[in-house]
C-alpha cells in the first residue's frame, strides 16, 4: 500500500481505518473524464481515496469546503467559490457514473471509523445501490444558484463572507477584551494582595514597636521601683543606725561611773 505524508488528520484516520479493515485503496485517484467545469483547461480533479472493489470514493472535507478560508490564495472568495464548484462537479460525476461517494465533513472526524464501516457493510450487500452521502450538497447547491459564470463572485457569498468576517472580528475583539479584563482582574488581585501583605507587615511592625515600647516602659518602671526600694532600704538602715547610736549614747551617759565623774 502506498504511504504518503498527508497534512489532514482526518485523511490519516481514514487510511488507518481502511488498513485495519484490510481494504485496498488508492490515494489521490484521477479519472480521465473527471475534470473541473470551472477551469478553462478543464483540469483533472482528484479523489482523496478510491476503493475500486466497491466503486467507492471517499472525500474528507475540511473547514475550507464550507467556510471561506485562505490557504495562500490571492482571492479568498474566488478560491472558496472554486472549492464549492469542484466539490459539486465530483458529486455529479459520481452520480453519472453510478459510483458511490462518501463525503466526511471535518466536524464528523471523531466518527470516521464507524461511518466507513457502515458504508462498506452497506455496499458489500448483494442488493446495494450506488449512494452519494454528502450532508452539505443541498446547502452547496443553494450557494451555487447565484453563480452566472465560473468567475462570478455571488453577492450572497460576499455577504456571507462579510458577515463571517465581522463575526470573527467581533469574537476576536471580545477575546481581547476578555483577556484585558482578566489581566486587570489579576493586577487588581495582585494589588490587593500586596496591600494586604503591606498592611500585615505594617501591623506587625507596629505591634512589635508597641511591645518593645511596653517592655522598655516596664523595664524602666521596674528599675525605678528597684532603685526606690534600695533608697528606702538605705534610708531605713540609716535611721536604724542613728537610732542605735542614740540609744548607745544614752546608755553610756546613764552609766554610774560616768555619773560619778560628773559629780566630782
CB distance 39 to 27 below 8 Å = no
8 phi, psi to nearest 5 deg? -80, 125
Q: Which bin fits 55, alpha (ψ -120 to 50), beta or left (φ > 0)?
A: left
CB distance 94 to 134 below 8 Å = no
67 phi, psi to nearest 5 deg? -135, 140
Q: Is the pLDDT of residue 41 over 70?
A: no
Helix (H) or strand (E) holding 112: helix 112-123
pLDDT in tens, 115-163: 999 999 999 998 889 999 988 888 778 777 755 444 444 445 555 555 6
Q: Is the pLDDT of residue 103 over 50?
A: yes
pLDDT in tens, 150-204: 444 444 555 555 566 667 777 777 888 888 888 888 989 999 999 999 989 998 8
Grid cell 483533472 in the structure block, residue: 44
DSSP 127-178: T----EE-TTHHHHHHHHTT-SSTT---HHHHHHHHHHHHHHHHHHHHHHHH
Check if CATH label 3.40.960.10 holds for domain 9-149.
yes
Q: What is the pLDDT of residue 53?
A: 93
Q: Which of 168, 167, 154, 164 is nearest to 67 (CA)?
A: 164
**Exposed (0-12), middle (13-18) or buried (19+): which is 74, by Cβ within 10 Å?**
exposed
- Looking at every residue in the chain, the average pLDDT score rounds to 80
pLDDT in tens, 16-34: 999 999 999 999 999 998 8
CB distance 99 to 131 below 8 Å = no
Q: Which of 144, 126, 117, 111 is nearest to 51 (CA)?
A: 117
Q: What is the pLDDT of residue 172?
A: 79
pLDDT in tens, 54-92: 999 999 887 776 666 554 444 666 677 778 888 888 999
Q: Is the dihedral of CA 119, 122, 125, 130 positive or negative?
A: negative
- The residues, ordered by sequence, that sit 6+ positions from 101 with a Cβ below 8 Å of its Cβ are 56, 57, 58, 59, 90, 91, 94, 131, 132, 133, 134
Q: Output the nine-digit C-alpha cell for 105.
A: 465533513
Segment 260-264 mean pLDDT? 50
In this structure, the strands spanning 56-61 and 26-35 are: unpaired
CB distance 131 to 57 below 8 Å = no
Domain ranges of the chain: 9-149, 154-264
Q: What is the pLDDT of residue 56?
A: 95
CB distance 60 to 14 below 8 Å = yes
Q: What is the pLDDT of residue 151?
A: 42
CB distance 77 to 49 below 8 Å = no
Amino acid at each position: 500500500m502506498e504511504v504518503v505524508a498527508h497534512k489532514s488528520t482526518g485523511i490519516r484516520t481514514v487510511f488507518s481505518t481502511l488498513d485495519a479493515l484490510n481494504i485496498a485503496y488508492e490515494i489521490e485517484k484521477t479519472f480521465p473524464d473527471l475534470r473541473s467545469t470551472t477551469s478553462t483547461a478543464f483540469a483533472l480533479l482528484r479523489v482523496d481515496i478510491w476503493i475500486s472493489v466497491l466503486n467507492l470514493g471517499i472525500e474528507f472535507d475540511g473547514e475550507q469546503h464550507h467556510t471561506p478560508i485562505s490557504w495562500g490564495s490571492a482571492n479568498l472568495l474566488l478560491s472558496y467559490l472554486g472549492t464549492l464548484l469542484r466539490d459539486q462537479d465530483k458529486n455529479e460525476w459520481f452520480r453519472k457514473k453510478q459510483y458511490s461517494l462518501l463525503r466526511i465533513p471535518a466536524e464528523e472526524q471523531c466518527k470516521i471509523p464507524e461511518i466507513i464501516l457502515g458504508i462498506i457493510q452497506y455496499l458489500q450487500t448483494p442488493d446495494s445501490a450506488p449512494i452519494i452521502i454528502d450532508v452539505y450538497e443541498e446547502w452547496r447547491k443553494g450557494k451555487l444558484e447565484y453563480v452566472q459564470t465560473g468567475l462570478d463572485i455571488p453577492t450572497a457569498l460576499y455577504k456571507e463572507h462579510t458577515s463571517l468576517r465581522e463575526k470573527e472580528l467581533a469574537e476576536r475583539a471580545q477575546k481581547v477584551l476578555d483577556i484585558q479584563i482578566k489581566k486587570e482582574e489579576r493586577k487588581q488581585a495582585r494589588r490587593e494582595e500586596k496591600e494586604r501583605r503591606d498592611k500585615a507587615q505594617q501591623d506587625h511592625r507596629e505591634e512589635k514597636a508597641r511591645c518593645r515600647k511596653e517592655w522598655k516602659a516596664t523595664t524602666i518602671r521596674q528599675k525605678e521601683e528597684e532603685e526606690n526600694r534600695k533608697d528606702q532600704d538605705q534610708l531605713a538602715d540609716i535611721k536604724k543606725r542613728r537610732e542605735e547610736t542614740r540609744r548607745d549614747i544614752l546608755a553610756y551617759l546613764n552609766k554610774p561611773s560616768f555619773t560619778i565623774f560628773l559629780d566630782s
